[in-house]
Amino acid sequence: MNSDAERLAARIADASLAVHDVLTIYLGERLGLYDALAAGGPATADDLAGRTGTHPRYVREWLEHQAAAGILGCEDPAAPAERRRFLLPPAAAEVLTERESLLWSAARPRSLVALAQKLPALLEAFRTGEGIPDGTDDARTAQADLGRAAFLRLLATEWLPRIADVDGRLRSEPPARVLDVGCGAGWASIALARGYPLVRVDGLDFDPLSVGTARANADAHGVGARVAFHAADAASPDLPGGYDLVVAFESLHDMPRPVEALAAMRRLVAPAGTVLVVEEKVGEAFTLPASPNDRLNYGWSVLTCLPSAMCGPGAAGTGTLLRRETLLRYAREAGFSSIEDAGVPHDAWTFWRVTS
């Protein structure tokens, strides 16, 4: 391969192949095909269709594709098509069916399909400059599922313990009060309540469907009595204030009015309390070649986060890459004086402490 044009053409061909993996994994996840293989063991197309209420001819093609792609195994490739038995190898079982594993990745293809579902609206938005509110079921559930295992397993054991004063306050009497801004399906709030048995948490999100899901999730995890969820705009929440910790996980950059949201956080935090804004770990400035994180986040930004942050009059249009300088400007406009990296080791996020 000699020319740049050949290399780019080959790259697009490779990416297209990878998209086939993404889209067929989406089918397998949504139709319960991987779960049925994990639960019931190796299967022919007829077996798997019977277990999942699907059509055997479609399932056969999917099974053969998944084996060709090296995701599933096949016990007897030379057997007649209807007798070939396919299996889910242990690594694929972990990555595609074990929701508690940090390697569980089935929500990732779902999140990409949700982006594709938005493309017709995005074509229009590029022409009009209007925003696109988040909204499909796939977008909502994928966002929630992407962070779920890490919040439940790491938030109170690895991440917040690195911020000693915050961790200490959450463990001490009188019970600390925490506000989770842009809480989505509530997994951070639930992880806080589970990991810190004294605390009381309020989660707020302006999406009522997410708030309903968050309440159900909190009840299912046995913390419903200490966690309350509110459907409200972060820019104008009607909450009493005095919180020991106000935290916003990956939500500020999505908000059309981030300065108003930060000003509300400043009003709501107690004088000795802490505001943490957790955002994507991105470079200080636009540079080329871009880091892998910047490249990834530009993709999210074009396809979903910027359209969210373009909704409504005067929208800030932040985009996923909320760089230090922009966050500092927003914080100062909201009445804070500075921001500092709180030093939590994380591949993808920076935990910013926002101070007055």
Ligand X SMILES: C[S@@+](CC[C@H](N)C(=O)[O-])C[C@H]1O[C@@H](n2cnc3c(N)ncnc32)[C@H](O)[C@@H]1O
User: Which residues sit at the interface with ligand X, rule CB under 6 A?
Assistant: 143-144, 147, 182-184, 187-188, 205-207, 210, 233-235, 249-251, 254-255
Q: Give the nearest distance from C-beta 11 to ligand X in angstroms.
A: 29
Q: Give the nearest distance from C-beta 136 to ligand X in angstroms.
A: 13
Q: Give the nearest distance from C-beta 98 to ligand X in angstroms.
A: 20
- What's the CA gap between 223 and 208, in Å, rounded? 20
The answer to whether the CB of 48 falls within 8 A of the CB of 37 is yes
**45 vs 188, beta carbon nearer ligand X:** 188
**47 vs 254, beta carbon nearer ligand X:** 254
Which tokens go with 176?
């600390």
- Phi and psi at residue 280, in whole multiples of 5°? -60, 145
- What DSSP string describes 67-84? HHTTSSEES-TTS-GGG-
Give the 3-state secondary structure of residue 218.
helix
Q: Give the nearest distance from C-beta 281 to ligand X in angstroms.
A: 14
Q: Give the nearest distance from C-beta 207 to ligand X in angstroms.
A: 4
- What's the CA gap between 119 and 217, in Å, rounded? 30
Which tokens go with 157?
């054991």
Q: Give the nearest distance from C-beta 192 to ligand X in angstroms.
A: 12
**63 vs 114, beta carbon nearer ligand X:** 114
**28 vs 147, beta carbon nearer ligand X:** 147
Q: Give the nearest distance from C-beta 54 to ligand X in angstroms.
A: 31
The half-sphere exposure of 26 on its side-chain side, counting CA atoms within 13 A, is 20
Which tokens go with 109?
């293809």
The answer to whether the CB of 144 falls within 8 A of the CB of 189 is no
**176 vs 305, beta carbon nearer ligand X:** 305
- What's the CA gap between 356 and 353, in Å, rounded? 10
- What's the CA gap between 37 and 48, in Å, rounded? 7
**183 vs 246, beta carbon nearer ligand X:** 183
**36 vs 247, beta carbon nearer ligand X:** 247
Q: Give the nearest distance from C-beta 186 to ligand X in angstroms.
A: 8
Which tokens go with 15?
């990416």
Q: Give the nearest distance from C-beta 114 to ligand X in angstroms.
A: 12
Residue closest to 143 by CA, chosen among 107, 172, 118: 107
* b/e burial code for range 188-215 (CB count within 10 A of at least 16 → b): bbbbbbbbbeebbbbbbbbbeebbebbb
- What's the CA gap between 161 and 166, in Å, rounded? 8
- What's the CA gap between 266 and 335, in Å, rounded? 8
**45 vs 191, beta carbon nearer ligand X:** 191
The answer to whether the CB of 169 falls within 8 A of the CB of 205 is no
**202 vs 205, beta carbon nearer ligand X:** 205
